[in-house]
Amino acid sequence: MEHIQNLFSEAFKLFALMTPPAVLSAFLSASKNYTSARKKAAARKTAVAVFIIGAVLYFFGNSIFSVFGFTLDAFRIGAGSLLFLTAVSLMNETAGQPVFLPDEDISVVPLAIPLCMGPASIGTVMVMGASACDAEQMFTGALALLAASLGIYATLHFSEAIKRVLGHTGIVVLSKLTGLLLAAIAAQVVFTGVKSFLR
């Protein structure tokens, strides 16, 4: 039971880190002239790209730490700081949306990178992988990453339905709430890093 709770907790945290309201807003703006089939294909490609990028960082984060000589606690503090900046940007986000070219493939850039997997979420995924103590924790983290990627897919796949239910104002409010949640996660990550560093 505890493992299932950890899985859901990690999956929800990763999903929040991927800033789904910002991704949804950008997707709706870019796909106005898309056919239904193209929207579904873009949603699938985005989710696959997010999972592949996240999995590489998750499983090889330790190697990256070794190459550059980072300590895990220093990376926690840095990732938490970037995550806090992401939260602030969500809180200050205006209604204006970037302009996309009609034939531009938005799946990998900008949806997967940097909206879903920006500096803050990349740092958090790497810290999660480096913090895993055994194969069971690594497997749980990988499942959580898969679940979060599927959450992004569902968000984009049902983007029009979500837009009809929430409306523009609802999406903006959801973005602000996500910003508050990310700020809390950022504080926890930084405090953990500082506490461990001072020891």
For the whole model, what pTM was predicted? 0.79
Q: pLDDT tens-digit profile of 82-92? A: 778 877 877 77
Q: What is the pLDDT of residue 143?
A: 96
Is the CB of residue 131 less than 8 Å from the CB of residue 72?
Answer: yes
- For 47, 87, 149, the CA distances from 4, given in Å and listed in that order, are 23, 28, 18
Q: Is residue 127 included in any domain, yes or no?
A: yes
- For 16, 25, 93, 139, 164, the CA distances from 9, given in Å and listed in that order, are 11, 25, 27, 14, 28
Our count of domains for the chain comes to 1
* Longest Cα separation, the chain: 56
Q: Is residue 12 included in any domain, yes or no?
A: no
Q: pLDDT tens-digit profile of 155-168? A: 999 999 998 998 88
Q: Is residue 10 included in any domain, yes or no?
A: no
Q: What is the pLDDT of residue 95?
A: 43
How far apart CA 51 and CA 48 sit, in angstroms, is 5
Q: Is residue 28 included in any domain, yes or no?
A: yes
Q: Is residue 56 included in any domain, yes or no?
A: yes
Q: What is the pLDDT of residue 102?
A: 56
Domain limits for position 36: 21-95+106-198
Collapsing DSSP to helix, strand or coil, 104 comes out as coil
Q: Is residue 6 included in any domain, yes or no?
A: no
Is the CB of residue 143 less than 8 Å from the CB of residue 15?
Answer: no
Q: Write out the two tokens for 176.
A: 């602000």
Q: What is the pLDDT of residue 50?
A: 97
Is the CB of residue 152 less than 8 Å from the CB of residue 26?
Answer: no
Of 160, 153, 151, 152, the C-alpha closest to 32 is 160
**Could you tell me if residue 26 is left (phi over 0), alpha (psi between -120 and 50 degrees) or otherwise beta?**
alpha
Is the CB of residue 7 less than 8 Å from the CB of residue 95?
Answer: no
What distance, in Å, lies between the first and last C-alpha atoms of the chain? 32
Tokens 């239904």 sit on residue: 36
- Contacting residues for 19 by C-beta, under 8 A, at least 6 apart: 86, 90, 115, 116, 118, 175, 178, 182
How far apart CA 184 and CA 192 sit, in angstroms, is 12
Q: What is the pLDDT of residue 69?
A: 79
Q: Is residue 5 included in any domain, yes or no?
A: no
Q: Is residue 16 included in any domain, yes or no?
A: no
Listed as ranges, residues in the chain with pLDDT below 70 are 1, 93-104
